[in-house]
Amino acid sequence: MRKLRATGPTVTDAVEKVKKQLDLRDDEFECAVVEKGSKGFFGLMAKEAVVEITIKSDFYKRRLEQFMNHILNTYGDINVNVQYAGRRFSVELEGRDLGRLIGKHGKTLAALQHIATIYLNRLSDTKLSVIVDAGEYRERRKKSLEHMVRQVIDRVRSNKGKVVLDPMFAFERRVVHEIAKSYRDIKSYSIGIEPYRKVVIEYCDSKDLLKSDQDFKSSVRGS
C-alpha cells in the first residue's frame, strides 16, 4: 500500500531507520535491496545502501486498532476488532452501552468513522476506506431504512409527487437509490452538500419514462 526508499551505511541501517521512523514491526513490511552499498577504497568513493520498503496491510490494521482504542478509552470496556480486505478496513465495536458510541441517528459513529479514515490515510500514500460499526447498527439501520423508503415510495406513487428525505450519510443514500432503481416509475437523486445531503424520491409519469427510453436508445445507437 505504501512504498518508500531509505538509505544508510548498510542495508541493516537503512531498514532500521525506517522501522524506527514509522514504528514498523518485522512482519509488517517487505524489503527489497536496491543498492547494497560499499565502503569504497580507504573510505573514498563509498556508496550508501538503498532499500525499498513496502508496508503491508497488517501495519495499518495494528495502527488503526491502537488509534481506536486510544480515542475510546473513556467509553469503558469497548472491544475493537479490525479486519481488512484490500484497501477497505472494517472496525467492529463491541461492549456495553453502545448507544453512546452510536449516537442519535448514528452521528457519533459517523464522526468516529470520519476521524479514523483521516488518520489511516495520513499513514498511506494510497486512498484507504474505513467502515466503523457498533453492535451491527448499520445492518439494523439498513433494514429500518428499507421499510421507511418503501412506504415513502408508495406515497409518492399514489400522489404522483415527490418527497425530500432528511439528511443522510452516504451509505444510507446508497440504500435509498438502490431501492428506487427497482421501481420503473420512480427516480431518486441527491441534493445539498455534506453533512446535510438529502435524497429526493420523485414520481416519473409516462412522458418522462418514454423520454428516458428514447434517450437510452439514442445513446446506444450513438455508442
Residues 211 and 207: their CA atoms lie apart, in Å, by: 6
Closest residue by Cα to residue 129 from 114, 142, 140: 114
> What local confidence, expressed as pLDDT, does residue 209 receive?
54
pLDDT confidence band for 30 (50 / 70 / 90): very high
When the pLDDT of each residue in the chain is averaged and rounded to a whole number, the result is: 88
Domain spans of the chain? Answer: 2-55, 59-135, 139-222
| Global confidence as pTM | 0.77
Residues 199 and 181: their CA atoms lie apart, in Å, by: 13
Give φ, ψ of 51 to 5 degrees. -125, 155
Percentage of residues in the chain having pLDDT higher than 90: 70
Q: Provide the grid cell at 191.
A: 441534493
50 in Cβ contact with 4 (< 8 Å)? no
The mean pLDDT value for 152-174 works out to 94
pLDDT at 221 over 70: no
> What local confidence, expressed as pLDDT, does residue 222 receive?
42
Residues 18 and 49: their CA atoms lie apart, in Å, by: 13
> What local confidence, expressed as pLDDT, does residue 207 receive?
60
Grouping H, G, I as helix, E, B as strand and the rest as coil, residue 220 is: helix
Highest mean pLDDT among 32-46, 59-73, 198-212: 59-73
pLDDT at 76 over 80: no
Q: Provide the grid cell at 165.
A: 428525505
The mean pLDDT value for 123-145 works out to 93
CATH of domain 59-135: 3.30.300.20
Closest residue by Cα to residue 153 from 190, 202, 195, 103: 202
DSSP bridge partners of 47: 38
Q: Provide the grid cell at 168.
A: 443522510
DSSP bridge partners of 132: 91
CATH of domain 139-222: 3.30.1370.50
Mind listing the pLDDT tens digit for each residue in 174-220? 999 999 999 999 999 999 998 789 999 999 986 655 555 545 444 33
Pairing of strands 198-203, 129-134: unpaired
The mean pLDDT value for 90-106 works out to 87
pLDDT at 4 over 50: yes
Non-local (6+) Cβ contacts of 164 within 8 A are 191, 198, 199, 200
> What local confidence, expressed as pLDDT, does residue 223 receive?
34
Indicate the length of the chain as a whole number: 223
Grouping H, G, I as helix, E, B as strand and the rest as coil, residue 133 is: strand
Q: Which DSSP state fits 124?
A: -
